[in-house]
Structure 1
Amino acid sequence: MKAILIGFMGSGKTTIGKLLAHQLALPHIDLDDQIIAAAGCPITNIFEQHGEDYFRQLEHQLLLETLTRDGVLSTGGGTPAQATNLQVLQETATPVILLEAAADTILERVHNNHDRPLVNSLTKTDLVSLKDARRSQYHTCADLIIQTDGLSPQTIVKRILSFLKQK
């Protein structure tokens, strides 16, 4: 794996991951897509039918498998919030890049997105609380932190590429 993107939902992990992978001529791997493929149903259905514990176990298994592949990985927003995943992300030699965005930016990006099981039930206050609760996990494993508000995807990718060249 060349780079791992982490961050809260709506921070831009998938968008940036695809662009970064293209620039590096590597495949983009979205952990949520891997989970959907393995489970054979959307994430909302996994939560409804099997619960969050099952989802997190599958997520951990697929994170471990994915790290052995070449490419750019975009994780789920809650991936680093799980202790087992956080440990993996802290110990990996692959650079972990945290994409951050303000609560208003996140709400604007994910509003009415039915593929995100948490978002439609969260108020702005709830979102800020959840984001704040995950902040320390994100920061603990991040090698680079980029505040994405007001930046174009291309600018963000340039910053990541510059960082990766130094590694």
Structure 2
Amino acid sequence: MAYKIPAQTRIGHVHLKVSDLQKSLDFYVGLLGFEITTLYGSQAAFISAGGYHHHIGLNTWHSLGGKPAPETAPGLYHTAILYPTRKDLAVALQRLIDAGYPLSGAADHGVSEALYLDDPDGNGVELYWDRPKEEWPSKPDGSLDMYTKRLDLDGLLKEATGQ
């Protein structure tokens, strides 16, 4: 039988090369709301949600002043940030709108609702929440029936204000 990684395994953090640490901190901390857990001078920062040592590392060690990778180059497609509730995602959407920060997409995937945008270096970022597992759509054979449909942004925004 083929080896299977333990079911409790999680992705612990992502570490991104960035061109300008302050611009990245303005985005991830100032706009998205992560907290700085530690700085390494003006070259690197670790940030987190809720006091974890770090969910995201940001550094300019090999990328200071660099240009974004071409869209067709191999590499990270996006970093996915999982919000605990639909309301939390709605609040994030309202913050993006209030800041005039552009989305590159939004989708209902059946298992989740997602917002897509790029950070200041063009790194893809997905902000999403998962529906309860018992609501996930499935095919007749029991496998997931994920899809990409239009996300009702107005309905999501109503969640932010409790309407």
TM-score (normalizing by structure 2): 0.27
More helix by share: 1
TM-score (normalizing by structure 1): 0.26
More strand by share: 2
Structure exhibiting the larger radius of gyration computed from Cα positions: 2
Q: Which has the higher contact order (CA 8 A, sep 6+)?
A: 1
